[in-house]
Amino acid sequence: MDDVFKLADDLGPLKVIHVHEPGIGLKGVLVIDNVARGPSVGGVRMAADVTTEECARLARAMTFKNAAAGLPHGGGKAVLVGDPKMPKVQKEILIRGFCCALRNEEQYIFAPDMGTNETCMAWIKDEIDRVVGVPRELGGIPLDEIGATGFGLSHAVDVAQDFCDFDLKGARFVIQGFGAVGKHAARFLCAAGAIAVAVSDSAGTIYNPDGLDVDALIALKSAGKSVTEYGAGEKRDGDAIIDIECDIWIPAARPDVIHEGNVNRLNAKMVAQGANIPITYAAEKILHQKGILNLPDFIANAGGVICAATEYQGASEAAAFAAIEEKLRRNTREVLETAQREQILPRDAALAMARRRVEQAMSHRRWHIF
Ligand code: NAD
């Protein structure tokens, strides 16, 4: 097990909990990073290769994301070891077992993430009730089904085009990862007049310089197939998505996919981070030096958690969309203007803004009096 204390600093993490239930093959981790702004919200990720360190880094990203979005929530994250495509009955046992083991961790509210969805959240609601992103029939706002994060991302990109030399109408975009974030980002960007030239999933990349039919790709995924089975395009391997020339490159899958070793292969004017922590800081610096505009993850992909917080307050889907649009547009502009004015990386501008908000909240907490 990796040493999580090497990641600890003045903000957190508050708690790191390992869950192990050999009887059902359950191995998971919960990291509650910081709760100064309120109970933590963050998704439950299921993947075969998740680690405690990844969980802690994602929990910190949630602390900043929730603070940047002005939500009354701290940051947390949970990871569950396993293939998300395992038989449904086995997945249900693991998810139910995991949330039951964490029943008393009241400072963490479950939400969907990679490898989990509204159905998984329904199982959690059935067991412990402390969850957002549940299906409509249970009174929730199904944030993945409505594409809350992709919607927000499209607004962030729309604002960011003012800081780049291209027009969103006719802009060519590429998306790595065609799941809840990627496919809806594609849908909303196409509605704004942009053109998808390549997308990928875990089976590979599909590319067509004349444009891909996003609705047809979504239909393929809904049928349980890969985007590579789309007929009218050139099939390439998964890694090839990095090289494809475009205006907007969107990572919407795994962490650390762009690093010092491959960042120079990117051939784009803007990178809009749909995934959490998809690009290392060293690679972001290189992007900045090359004049490629980079929208940091916790600013650009906050749509999902804004939707979750709206659901938690009992408000409507329409209120969620309005809050996402307003917050994403305001934050993106504030971060990019600060970055431009102070000649710093957009991430540094975003981090300073979020950290300031967390520290202000922490100053009111009891442990800061002593
Ligand atoms: P998802 O499970 O719905 O989709 C993930 C997609 O990525 C799938 O199409 C999968 O095939 C693909 N994929 C996996 N490994 C890949 C690889 N190596 N190369 C290319 N594609 C690969 O997950 P999601 O909810 O869309 O989340 C994607 C990312 O966005 C994660 O980093 C997640 O933390 C982040 N995120 C999600 C939300 C949300 O609302 N769902 C909000 C903010 C951030």
Pocket test for ligand 1, best of 202, 239, 258, 273 (most atoms within 8 A of CB): 202
Least Cα distance to 81 among 44, 109, 118 occurs for: 44
Q: Kindly provide the residue ranges of all beta strands, DSSP E only, lying in the chain, ordered along the sequence.
A: 15-21, 26-34, 40-47, 75-81, 108-112, 172-176, 195-201, 204-207, 234-236, 248-251, 270-272, 293-295
Place of tokens 């100053």: 363
Give the largest CA-CA distance in the chain.
65
Q: Is 118 in the pocket of ligand 1 (CB under 6 A)?
A: no
pLDDT-derived band at 1 (thresholds 50, 70, 90) equals: very low
What DSSP state is assigned to residue 300? Answer: H
What is the Cα–Cα distance from 223 to 159, expressed in whole angstroms?
Answer: 34
Q: Is the CB of 178 under 6 A from ligand 1?
A: yes
- d(CA 190, ligand 1 centre) in Å: 19
Which residues, 6 or more positions from 206, have their beta carbon under 8 angstroms from its beta carbon? 198, 199, 200, 212, 217, 227, 228, 230, 233, 234, 235, 236
User: In this predicted structure, what is the pLDDT of residue 70?
Assistant: 93
Tokens 């439950």 sit at which residue? 44
* Catalytically active residues, by annotation: 77
Centre of ligand 1 to C-alpha 182, Å, is 7
Average pLDDT, the chain: 95
Q: How many angstroms is it from 188 CA to the middle of ligand 1?
A: 17
| Residue 209: CB atoms within 10 Å | 14
Q: What's the pLDDT score for residue 83? A: 97
> What is the predicted pLDDT for the residue at 71?
95
Q: What pLDDT does residue 210 have?
A: 97
Model pLDDT for residues 157-195, shown as the tens digit of each residue: 999 999 998 999 999 999 999 999 999 999 999 999 999
Ligand 1 in contact with 296 (CB < 6 A)? no
Percent of the chain at pLDDT exceeding 90: 94
Alpha carbon distance 264, 273 (integer Å): 17
Task: Give yes or no for residue 301 CB within 6 A of ligand 1.
Answer: yes
Whether the CB of 228 sits within 6 Å of ligand 1: no
Per-residue buried b or exposed e for 169-178, using 16+ beta carbons within 10 Å of the residue's own CB? eebbbbbbbb
Distances (CA, A) of 31 to 11, 17, 77: 13, 6, 5
Among 113, 144, 257, 306, say which to mutate for ligand 1: greatest number of ligand atoms within 8 Å of CB: 113
pLDDT of residue 349: 98
- The residue nearest atom 30 of ligand 1, judged by CA position, is 275
pLDDT at residue 7, as a whole number: 79
Q: Is 121 a pocket residue for ligand 1 (Cβ < 6 Å)?
A: no
User: Which strands, in side-by-side order, build the sheet including 204-207?
Assistant: 234-236, 204-207, 195-201, 172-176, 248-251, 270-272, 293-295
**Cβ-contact 12, 59 below 8 angstroms:** yes
